[in-house]
Amino acid sequence: MNLEEINKIVYDYRLKPEYEQFVSDLRKFLSEEIAPTAESFDLEEKFPEENIRKFASKGYMGIPVPKKYGGMGLGEFGYGLAVQEISKVDTAHGTIIGASTGLCEVPLWLFGQEWQREKYLPDMTSGKKLGAFALTEPQAGSDAANIRTTASLSGENYLLNGTKQFITNGDRAETLVVFAANELSLGPYGGITAFIVERSFGGIKTAKVEKKMGIRASTTAQIIFENCPVPKENVLGMFGAGFIVALTALDGGRASLSAGAVGGAEETLSRVMEWAQRNPGLARKQSVQKMTADMAMEIHAARLVSYQSLEEIGSYFDRLANGERIPSPERAMISRHTAMAKSYCSEVASRAVDSAMQILGFEGYVEGSWAERAFRDSFIAEIYEGTNDIQRLVIARELLGAEGDR
Ligand SMILES: Cc1cc2nc3c(=O)[nH]c(=O)nc-3n(C[C@H](O)[C@H](O)[C@H](O)COP(=O)(O)OP(=O)(O)OC[C@H]3O[C@@H](n4cnc5c(N)ncnc54)[C@H](O)[C@@H]3O)c2cc1C
């Protein structure tokens, strides 16, 4: 069996007909256009500009966004399936696309006024402009409510001042959703506002591009805002309600991340099966059989958890975009499910890569092996969009109704 045939066995799931063609076309595109160069971008730590242009030319930079704004209109479920497929080929490409699509376009679509959607989305869905989501700061990672970037009114503009760090696409995005404190004393609910910021507004400096162990084709930057003038009308959502914008975007991000982790784990299992096929002695070893069976069971469970979360978030976002108010117990349940999906699936992916390394031995550890790159790449899903520890706190606090000790 070749890898393609093995992949079909690993992906033992029947998609709804409306997604089948989309996934099949995307797989073909990825294997022909992206897979051949993905590894070299990682090794050279180079942003895959040409590849991102190819994604854009097929419409893949706007998968969840309605067609009206140049997107594919496939919602969060279709987008999650895409992140799953892209992550099989390279997590860094998935990260670049995710930051632009899931974390910048989606909140713009959900919370933007009609003129904002019409002005900003088509350039991003067409790939003309890349997007970014700037929340994290040096003192505000897990504690995102503690942001210190300020927004102060000066004439017709808000002036943004502060430092954002670890921002995917932060050095090159032309459209950024930026979170800033409009009034520090009000705390996160009331005191934080989301802004649509164009790099061309000026007052934005890239201070640093991080060197990373994994997802090295994606850039992660520290950016400094110095009196960055943002027109008053570029407030995204309600003034003072930016924290809700951030949390909502991150709920969607976590659901799609869970699918990306499932994709990574599936690819790992496929590669292990291919390796075992070429080394029949290995397949007879009980320890290898157990690790392989555990991987398959966990991936199956993870896929169901992820898809359920994607379906839930998909209908939630459609309702939000249509102006429906979602009762808070329902929102809390959806957040809990995305937290569970992101944590569970990312840990399944990490365990799968760990097992693969053990099964492959030296073959996995050597530079240039797929397992070595997967090992460096997979852990990121346990960190970004909120660490898994923090997801567990969210889940537990909801269930126990307690804030807990810090
Ligand atoms: C490659 C990469 C890309 C990223 N892209 C973006 C982006 O595009 N936009 C953006 O805004 N951010 C981005 N981030 C930031 C990311 O979301 C944060 O790194 C993440 O939320 C964790 O924050 P931190 O790194 O500051 O860790 P910290 O908050 O310092 O946490 C360190 C450790 O302490 C634990 N911890 C912290 N607080 C608590 C607590 N109260 N209780 C229990 N445990 C706790 C954490 O779980 C973790 O294990 C990115 C990060 C990376 C690594």
What is the fold of 132-236?
Answer: Butyryl-CoA Dehydrogenase, subunit A; domain 2 (2.40.110)
**Which ligand 1 atom minimizes the distance to the CA of 95?**
3
Task: Give nearest CA residue, ligand 1 atom 48.
Answer: 387
> From CA 369, how far away is CA 276, in angstroms rounded?
15
Task: State yes or no: is 385 an active-site residue.
Answer: yes
Q: How far is the CA of 138 from the centre of ligand 1 (A)?
A: 10
Contact status, residue 390 vs residue 398, Cβ threshold 8 Å: no
DSSP per residue, 45-66: T---HHHHHHHHHTTTTSSSS-
Q: How far is the CA of 107 from the centre of ligand 1 (A)?
A: 20
Task: Give nearest CA residue, ligand 1 atom 4.
Answer: 166
DSSP per residue, 28-42: HHIIIIIHHHHHHHH
What CATH number matches the domain at 3-130, 3.40.50.620, 2.60.40.10, 1.10.540.10, 3.30.590.10?
Answer: 1.10.540.10
Task: Give the residues of the chain that fall short of pLDDT 70.
Answer: 402-406
* 389 in contact with ligand 1, CB cutoff 6 A: yes
Q: What confidence score (pLDDT) does residue 12 get?
A: 83
**Which ligand 1 atom minimizes the distance to the CA of 164?**
11
> Has this prediction a pTM greater than 0.75?
yes
Task: Give nearest CA residue, ligand 1 atom 37.
Answer: 142
Q: Answer whether CATH 1.10.3720.10 is correct for domain 242-400.
A: no
Q: What confidence score (pLDDT) does residue 217 get?
A: 98
Domain boundaries, the chain: 3-130, 132-236, 242-400
Residue 237 buriedness (CB in 10 A; 0-12 / 13-18 / 19+): buried
Q: What confidence score (pLDDT) does residue 201 get?
A: 98
